[in-house]
Copies of this chain bind each other. A is one copy, B any other.
Amino acid sequence: MREVAVVGVGMTNFGISEKTQIEMFSEAAMEAITESNIEPRDIQALFLGNVLGDFEEGQMNMAPMCAADIGIPNIPATRFEGACASATVALRDAYMWVASGFYDMVLAGGTEKAMVMGTPMATRTFAMGSDSRYESFAGITFPGAFGMAAHLYSKKYGIPLEKLKEQMAMVSVKNHKNGVLNPKAQFRKEITVEKVLSGIVIADPLQLLDCCPFSDGAAALVFASADKAKDLTKKPIYIAGTGQGSAGPLHNQKDFTIVKSRVISSQQAYKQAGIGPEDIDVCELHDCFTIAEILAIEAMGFFEYGKGSQASEDGETALDGKIPINPSGGLKAKGHPIGATGAAQAYEIVKQLREECGERQVKGAKIGMTDTLGGDLATVCNIIFRR
């Protein structure tokens, strides 16, 4: 397999959009294409993440519609759905089609218009990512699942719940602080631990500001063979490794403080890249809830199991910490248009490795990683990028 590079990236502002999902994707795609110094006709295939286009806008088979909207109606165009991990799964697939030598240049990304449903309806609809036979009909939602994870974490590691709540709040505070520095973020406002802890309870012990929002948005990347990339950009960012793991329904998972799908996925990615977690300079990961970020930094190997909440308290995941996590603001502050999130994470990492992130730049970042989780920990997909 040959080397593959990202030659251009694009992303809409996250938040509420007046545009359709197809139009948002076009905005992001045209930015990526323009940045790549190519024309739409140079694109050979489209790989699109989207989760609920049918419920949100009555749009299935969205990929060929997106291709048509940017003026290339005849290319192969495929939609991928792996709940919140949809876009990363699409990106990983796009990578393979170029790495294999089948295509030289492809477009990949994701789009979602979750705000159109409103949060209560979106939460219910999105619970379809859980097992429909034994779980979702019983009332479990994602806040509920992660609330349980927080209780388990507290009990397993002997961290009093009140203490853990503070530590979780610090994750939210950190991501909001980063979000202020990201002009495309949905929330650009600093918050305090006190404010998080005085919020309404969503699913005990998670409070409102422990939870990421729903969002509208899209992001896109152009992948090219390394040979082509050199002609197109002075700053190609290479794919060093990818991984994808699953874990089945929640009731099959022995201990969901250790996200097995993520352990498997990240180890695949490290192995392919020939590196370890200690080599990662910057990471965008799936902080759908504050506890989710804590679980992620452990399963990815940045911190030992049971030490992630303390590391968060100690500032080790801040912009100037040992391993800067979610410099974009993460899902919490940047926003979470579910089917676009993985592509937005990749957008941020590419920008970081190009050193184009202004005040939120992680200095000297040479290797970055994305991590996207889908469903009740059922799917995790990771990509490692390098300069």
Using a CB–CB cutoff of 8 Å, the interface residues on chain A facing chain B are 1, 20, 22, 45, 51-52, 54-55, 57-61, 63-65, 67-69, 73-83, 89, 93, 96-97, 99-102, 125-126, 128-129, 131-133, 136-137, 244-249, 252, 260-261, 264-265, 374-375, 378-379, 381
Q: Roughly how many angstroms separate A102 CA and B83 CA in the complex, as a whole number?
A: 24
- When distances are taken between beta carbons in the complex, the residues of chain B under 8 Å from A265 are 76
Main secondary structure of the interface of A (DSSP, over half): mixed
CB pair A61–B374 under 8 Å, yes or no, is: yes
CB pair B248–A59 under 8 Å, yes or no, is: no
CB nearest neighbor in B for A71: B248
CB pair B77–A80 under 8 Å, yes or no, is: no
CB pair B133–A20 under 8 Å, yes or no, is: yes
- When distances are taken between beta carbons in the complex, the residues of chain B under 8 Å from A59 are 128, 131-132
CB nearest neighbor in B for A102: B96
Q: Roughly how many angstroms separate A101 CA and B61 CA in the complex, as a whole number?
A: 29
CB nearest neighbor in B for A23: B133
Contact of A60 with B81 at beta-carbon distance under 8 Å, contacts A54-B52, A97-B96 already known: yes
Number of copies: 2
- Indicate the member of A93, A133, A137 with the most B CB atoms within 10 Å: A133
> Which one of B57, B101, B260 contacts A1 once the chains associate, using CB atoms below 8 Å?
B101
Q: Roughly how many angstroms separate A53 CA and B180 CA in the complex, as a whole number?
A: 39
CB pair B64–A379 under 8 Å, yes or no, is: yes
| 10 A–B contacts from the bound complex (CB under 8 Å) | A52-B54, A54-B125, A61-B81, A61-B128, A64-B261, A74-B260, A76-B246, A79-B80, A96-B100, A100-B100
CB pair B61–A379 under 8 Å, yes or no, is: yes
CB pair B78–A89 under 8 Å, yes or no, is: yes
CB pair B83–A131 under 8 Å, yes or no, is: no
**Beyond A59-B132, A73-B248: 18 further Cβ-contacts under 8 Å?**
A1-B102, A20-B133, A22-B133, A59-B128, A60-B128, A61-B82, A61-B128, A61-B379, A63-B82, A64-B375, A67-B248, A73-B252, A75-B245, A76-B244, A76-B381, A77-B379, A79-B80, A80-B80
> Which one of B78, B375, B379 contacts A244 once the chains associate, using CB atoms below 8 Å?
B78
> Which one of B60, B64, B245 contacts A51 once the chains associate, using CB atoms below 8 Å?
B60
CB pair A247–B64 under 8 Å, yes or no, is: yes
- Indicate the member of A22, A137, A378 with the most B CB atoms within 10 Å: A378
CB pair A58–B249 under 8 Å, yes or no, is: no
Instruction: Give the shortest distance, in Å, between A249 (CB) and chain B (any CB).
Output: 6
CB pair B246–A67 under 8 Å, yes or no, is: yes
Q: Roughly how many angstroms separate A67 CA and B247 CA in the complex, as a whole number?
A: 9
Q: Roughly how many angstroms separate A79 CA and B58 CA in the complex, as a whole number?
A: 19
Q: Roughly how many angstroms separate A58 CA and B136 CA in the complex, as a whole number?
A: 8
> Which one of B65, B67, B83, B102 contacts A61 once the chains associate, using CB atoms below 8 Å?
B83
- When distances are taken between beta carbons in the complex, the residues of chain B under 8 Å from A99 are 100, 102
Instruction: Give the shortest distance, in Å, between A103 (CB) and chain B (any CB).
Output: 10
CB pair B1–A100 under 8 Å, yes or no, is: yes
Q: Roughly how many angstroms separate A125 CA and B58 CA in the complex, as a whole number?
A: 8
- When distances are taken between beta carbons in the complex, the residues of chain B under 8 Å from A93 are 78, 93
Contact of A375 with B60 at beta-carbon distance under 8 Å, contacts A76-B244, A99-B100, A246-B75 already known: yes
Instruction: Give the shortest distance, in Å, between A78 (CB) and chain B (any CB).
Output: 5
Instruction: Give the shortest distance, in Å, between A274 (CB) and chain B (any CB).
Output: 16
CB pair A61–B378 under 8 Å, yes or no, is: yes
Q: Roughly how many angstroms separate A74 CA and B69 CA in the complex, as a whole number?
A: 37
CB nearest neighbor in B for A79: B81
CB nearest neighbor in B for A246: B64
